[in-house]
Structure 1
Amino acid sequence: MHIDWSFLLSALGLAFIIEGIPYFVFSERMPRILISIIERGPRQLRILGLIAMIFGLLLISFGQSLTDL
């Protein structure tokens, strides 16, 4: 198995950029949003994480289908 480090680092960099956008754009509201996330129970956080992973997989799948055209 060959690892394409350039692709992996590019994907990681893109993930950091996407994660940083809400903190940059909504910097005044982020403390309240983070507190509301902390106040949720473990079950709700798992569901939120699962939804995020499914959405990510769908985006990857959609992106791959665009390259097959």
Structure 2
Amino acid sequence: MDDLAVAIGLVLVIEGLLWALAPRMGRRLLEAASETPESSLRLAGTLAVAAGVLIVWIARG
């Protein structure tokens, strides 16, 4: 359970850095995402999940 809390905290830190350091870029990214086809977003999300699982698997070996 501690690992889950750490992982959620790290996600919040990484997400928060974008909005704290470059809010204008964050808005541009959101606009670009809203114009991107759903199938492309779904593929990118699936690839991100797979990469995350692979990273955790390697790190926790």
Moved over 3 A (4+): none
Look up the equivalent residue of 2:13 and give its one-letter code. I
Match of 1:62 among 55, 58, 61: 58
Gaps of 5+ in 2: none
| Residue identity (%) | 26
2:14 to 15, 18, 27: 18
Higher helix fraction (1 or 2):
2
1:38 equivalenced with 2:34 (yes/no) = yes
- TM-score, structure 1 as length reference: 0.72
TM-score (normalizing by structure 2): 0.79
Paired residues, number: 61
